[in-house]
Amino acid sequence: MPKAKLLIGLLVGLVLFGAFVFFVGSAWFGLPVGAQGPEQPIAYPHTTHAGSVESGGLGLDCTFCHRNVDKGPAATIPSVEQCMFCHSKIGGTTDRGQTEIAKLRAAFESGEGVKWIRVHRLPDHVQFVHDAHVRFLMVNPDKIVNSTPSIGLDGSVNAAQVCSTCHGQIAAMAKVKQIRALKMGDCVDCHRANNGPTDCTACHY
Question: Among residue numbers 90 through 109, which ones bind ligand HEC (CB under 6 A)?
Answer: 90, 92-94, 96-97, 100-101, 104
First vs last C-alpha separation in the chain: 56
Considering the complex, what minimum distance in angstroms separates the CB of residue 182 from ligand HEC?
4
171 binds ligand HEC (CB under 6 A): yes
The residue type found at 28 is W
Query: What's 88-126 look like in SS3?
Result: CCCCCCCHHHHHHHHHHHHHHHHCCCCCCCCCCCCCCCE
170 binds ligand HEC (CB under 6 A): yes
126 binds ligand HEC (CB under 6 A): yes
One residue of 40, 67, 71, 105 binding ligand HEC per CB under 6 A: 40
d(CA 95, CA 179): 30
d(CA 119, CA 66): 15
Q: How many Cβ atoms sit within 10 Å of the Cβ of residue 179?
A: 18
One residue of 153, 187, 192, 205 binding ligand HEC per CB under 6 A: 187
184 binds ligand HEC (CB under 6 A): yes
Q: How many Cβ atoms sit within 10 Å of the Cβ of residue 149?
A: 17
130 binds ligand HEC (CB under 6 A): yes
Q: Which is nearer to ligand HEC, 55 or 96 (CB)?
A: 96
Residue 204, SS3?
Answer: strand
One residue of 67, 87, 141, 149 binding ligand HEC per CB under 6 A: 87
One residue of 67, 71, 105, 120 binding ligand HEC per CB under 6 A: 120
Q: Which is nearer to ligand HEC, 10 or 99 (CB)?
A: 99
Number of residues that bind ligand HEC (CB under 6 A): 81
Q: Which is nearer to ligand HEC, 149 or 196 (CB)?
A: 196
Q: How many residues does the chain have?
A: 205
* Close Cβ partners of 27 (under 8 Å, ≥ 6 residues apart): 183
